[in-house]
Amino acid sequence: MDASDLLRNSLLQLSKQEKIRDVIEKAPVSRSVVKRFVPGAERADVVGAAAEIAASGRRATIDYLGEDTTDLAQAQHTRDAYVSLLTALRDEGLTEGGTVEVSLKLSALGQALPGDGNTIALDHAREICEVAKQAGTTVTLDMEDHTTTDLTLDALRELRADFPTVGAVLQAYLYRTEADCRDLAHAGSRVRLCKGAYKEPESVAFQAGAEVDKSYVRCLKILMQGEGYPMVASHDPRLIEIAGALAGQAGRDPRSFEYQMLYGIRPEEQKRIADRGDQMRVYIPYGQEWYGYLMRRMAEKPANVMFFLRGVATKS
């Protein structure tokens, strides 16, 4: 095991340690750091953050933190949280034209429940999509580990029958993703392309960072040349530059695709991209489950640790 694997595994273990969470949560310095990347645990916190993002010319997508729910009441609570959030965003005038949308994890909505988990999660997602539609915005289905990819894409097809603007997330580190991009590069489709956030086996995913980057570019080329709406989720300056070049080669209007970055990471670069006339959307997480989110983001790859540490020291 090399140093990066050791760091990743250590962070993933820390994400599960409630005692460590308690220590970090109570430390004054930690609270200020966490707030930089997760605006808060309550709905009012994230609505305020989304309003600030929108005022700066950026867009937003909001994730109510939590996944792998095995309790029906918790799944229902997550559904209700999204319904209340969308109502609050609409009342603040933030949803019109999709300025602020929401991102859903089907496992948080009950997909892992025994028996009818898939049906329960889909029904909950459908209720959220209906409220989003009434509010003038839409929904993107987050992707989780590879064992749920087909289930998530099946849910996407079902939801799009009634809510055609529902978006999907594809992960470039999976071998299958080029084919999935071809399937989804059609008119009306919205696809967020990210590198991938889960520790996947070599049997299904590229392991080397350079191979993941190459796959990302191949997938992005397919999406840019297609008729859908690509969403470029990356903080990598080189990939962002390549995305712009591919969009130019495909003759894309700046409004026909967007860049996406996480809340609190490279905010000045986010504003610069928006100010130059491109669309920039910020992924904003909120809720009580911030600790696991923070640790998992840092565990994605060692470079993310530096992203977060730089965030402590600078506002750029």
Write out the catalytic residue numbers. Answer: 142, 192
Other beta carbons within 10 Å of 12 = 16
Other beta carbons within 10 Å of 241 = 10
Largest distance between two CA atoms of the chain = 53
Indicate the residue type of 286.
Answer: Y
Pull the structure tokens for residue 145.
Answer: 């580990």
Give the CA count within 13 Å in the CB-facing half-sphere of 217.
14
Are the C-beta atoms of 284 and 48 separated by less than 8 Å?
Answer: no
Contacts of 11 (CB under 8 A, 6+ apart): 295, 296, 298, 299, 305
Distance CA 64, CA 39 (A): 12
Backbone angle region of 280, left / alpha / beta, with phi > 0 → left and psi within -120 to 50 → alpha: beta
The DSSP symbol for 60 reads E
Distance CA 302, CA 288 (A): 25
Query: 3-class SS at 174?
Result: strand
Contacts of 254 (CB under 8 A, 6+ apart): 247, 277, 278, 279
Distance CA 309, CA 314 (A): 9
Distance CA 56, CA 44 (A): 19
